[in-house]
Amino acid sequence: MIVLDAFGNPVVGGPDIASAYSVENTAALRLFTVAPAAGTLVATLGDVTQDDGNGGFWFWVPNSTETDDGVTVVKCTALFAGRFYRYAAGQVITIPDGSVTTAKLVNSAVTNAKIADASVTTAKIADLNVTTGKIAAGAVTTAKIAAGAVTATELGTGAVGSTQLASSAVTTAKITDANVTLAKMANLAANTVIGSSGGGVPAALTMTSAGRAMAAASDAAAQRTLLSLTDVTDEASAELAHANSVCSFTYPSVSKVFRNNTKIGTLGNDWTLLTGGSGALGNSGKGVATSGWAGGGGANILTTGATASSYVQLISCVNGLAILGGAMIDNLVSATAKWHFETVFKISTTPNSNTEIGVGWVDSGGGDQLLVGVRGAQSTTKFRVFKGGTSTGANSTVSIDTNPHRFRMWGNGDGKVYFSVDYESAIQLSGATWADTVAAPYVTVQNGSTAAAQTVYLSTARYRVDGVVA
């Protein structure tokens, strides 16, 4: 078979081809030894092999000396002048992966318009072949890059600066764990810390002089010294330290206690139990194991049960006799008494306006009580110290919840009653004094007209007076 020129004349010296207007591949075009006539059209069935997808039509341009690139221009090996040019109208050329190298690209040839959206994938780029000089300014936009295509391998050191990053482009998901170091964070002004006073985005907070002193302290012991705190080894020592600090006892004080992990003495001998409705002392007054109490152990459980108008009360006894009319603690005269009372307990259910829960003193006649806890509508949100059966009392700053709390009340000889919950500043119970000469520890839990159980878990109750405990 022979190759015909554009006018139908045979081309002398052409290669042996499969048909009048076709050759097998691009290499076959280079085998012409006689220049075809201008405009001669020849088809290649493939680039390397037949049907490899890169064949096409070529037309002869005499006298051309353009460089053979094997894609759009082909030079015949035996001819100095004249070139075959690919006829590309409407033709799609498939480029094998990795075949576009730096040498194949003219500087700034790859513009934004030349690249289809998401068409630049990792597989299309030979390693280290895309240099800055090959890319026109602003040519590679977010839309041009396939998701996940730019990895650490594809980025040169220092290639991405602040000007290359869009606003809000670096999200949490883009940052590998432990990669935001102190050096990467903005500088803080002197004497500030990162925090938030009202929630939300962290901000720089100014430290007070006290806060700076605490931060500068060498260890926990130095911090306690800074705060004028005294180390204590147990609950009893803590209570004694507080009692001595607020009461200034004239005589060595004597302490009595009922606490967690033991029976509340012996019912009928040490304590009188009073109940009404469904009120009861849980587990016969034994300490029942619960978690979270200071010092371990359990709690003494007092519950009203779920019947309305129920109550449960404990009153100290002497030799099996209820303290009512007897003598338990002497010299609690209002103007001169120095005494200290501390208890730790928690409630299981948020109280309502009918609830009364109190731990403290009862007088010799049973009608005068000085208690800490909650009392009906007067303390539905804050704990309270109050005189039982009266509206006299004062609320703490500590909110009522179902966690354990430490309650303290005391008299320091000035005829007034003071109290504190969880180490808050002392609060004076205005208008309340203790005018009786005898008193006894007392616990009461009442649900009033509400048919719901109110339960107290009593961990510790400890009291002391100025040298006299019966």
Better pLDDT: 144 or 342: 342
pLDDT at 435: 53
**pLDDT score for 373:** 92
C-alpha distances in Å from residue 392, one per residue of 182, 225, 263:
56, 38, 33
pLDDT at 326 over 50: no
Any idea which of 183-192, 206-215, 269-278, 349-358 has the lowest mean pLDDT?
269-278
- 12-21, 297-306, 434-443: segment of lowest average pLDDT: 12-21
Per-residue confidence (pLDDT) for residue 289, from 0 to 100: 33
Are the C-beta atoms of 334 and 435 separated by less than 8 Å? yes
What is the pLDDT, as a whole number, of residue 234?
58
pLDDT at 294 over 80: no
Closest CA to 446 of 392, 393, 369: 369
CB atoms within 10 A of CB 162: 5
Q: Exposure pattern of 326-338 as b/e (b: 16+ CB <10 Å)?
A: eebbeebebeebb
Count other C-beta atoms under 10 Å from residue 74's C-beta: 23
Q: What per-residue confidence (pLDDT) applies to 284?
A: 40
pLDDT band at 365 (very low <50, low <70, confident <90, very high): low
- Kindly state the average pLDDT of the residues 264-281: 65
d(CA 404, CA 402): 7
Residue with tokens 């009202």: 198
What percent of the chain shows pLDDT beyond 70? 69
Least confident of 176-190, 329-343, 456-470: 329-343
Q: What is the pLDDT of residue 320?
A: 42
Residue 407 has a pLDDT of 92
Return the percentage of the chain with pLDDT > 90, whole number. 13
Statement: the pTM of the whole predicted model exceeds 0.75: no
CA angle 324, 328, 329 (to 5 degrees): 125
Q: What is the mean predicted confidence (pLDDT) over 389-414?
A: 87
pLDDT class of 438 with cuts at 50, 70, 90: low
Q: Cα dist. 411→318, 330, 339, 422 in Å?
A: 24, 14, 5, 18
3-state secondary structure the chain: CCEECCCCCEECCCCCCCECCEECCHHHHCCCCCCCCCCCEEEECCCCCCCCCCCEEEEEECCCCCCCCCCCEEECCCCCCCEEEEECCCCCCCCCCCCCCHHHCCCCCECHHHCCCCCECHHHCCCCCCCHHHECCCCCCHHHECCCCCCHHHCCCCCCCHHHCCCCCCCHHHCCCCCCCHHHCCCCCCCEEEECCCCCCCEEEECCHHHHHHHHCCCHHHHHHHCCCCCCCCHHHHHHHHHHHHHCCCCCCEEEEEECCCCCCCECCCEEEEEECCCEEHHHHCCEECCCCCCCCEEEEEECCCCCCCEEEEEEEECCEECCCCCCECCCCCCCCEEEEEEEEEECCCCCCCCEEEEEEEECCCCCEEEEEEEHHHHCCEEEEEECCCCCEEEEEEECCCCCEEEEEEEECCCCEEEEECCCCCEEECCCCCCCCCEEEEEEEECCCCCCCCEEEEEEEEEEECCCCC
> Residue 389: what pLDDT?
67
Give the pLDDT score at 440: 72
φ, ψ of residue 239 to 5 degrees: the values are -65, -45
pLDDT band at 292 (very low <50, low <70, confident <90, very high): very low
Confidence (pLDDT) at 383 = 94
**In the prediction, which pLDDT does 325 show?**
36
Q: How far apart are CA 443 and CA 329, in angstroms?
A: 16
Domains of the chain, earliest start first:
1-126 (no CATH), 235-465 (2.60.120.200)
Output the pLDDT for position 384.
Answer: 92
Residue 226, pLDDT score = 74
Which pLDDT score, from 0 to 100, does residue 5 have? 41
pLDDT at residue 442 tops 50: yes
The pairing of strands 203-206 and 439-446 is unpaired
pLDDT the model gives residue 7: 41
Instruction: Supply the mean pLDDT for the chain.
Output: 74
**Confidence band (pLDDT; 50, 70, 90) for 94?**
low
Q: Which residues pair with 44 in a beta bridge?
A: 23, 56
pLDDT computed for residue 202 by the predictor: 87
Tokens of 54: 């890169």
Q: Over 60: is that where the pLDDT of 321 sits?
A: no
How far apart are alpha carbons 372 and 30 in whole angstroms? 107
377-397 per-position pLDDT tens digit: 888 899 999 887 677 889 999
Which of 107-116, 129-138, 182-191 has maximum average pLDDT? 182-191
Of the listed ranges 41-45, 60-64, 147-151, 424-428, the least confidently predicted one is 147-151
Q: 174-188, 230-244, 315-329, 342-356: which has the minimum mean pLDDT?
A: 315-329
Pick from 60, 30, 68, 27: which is nearest to 42 by CA? 60
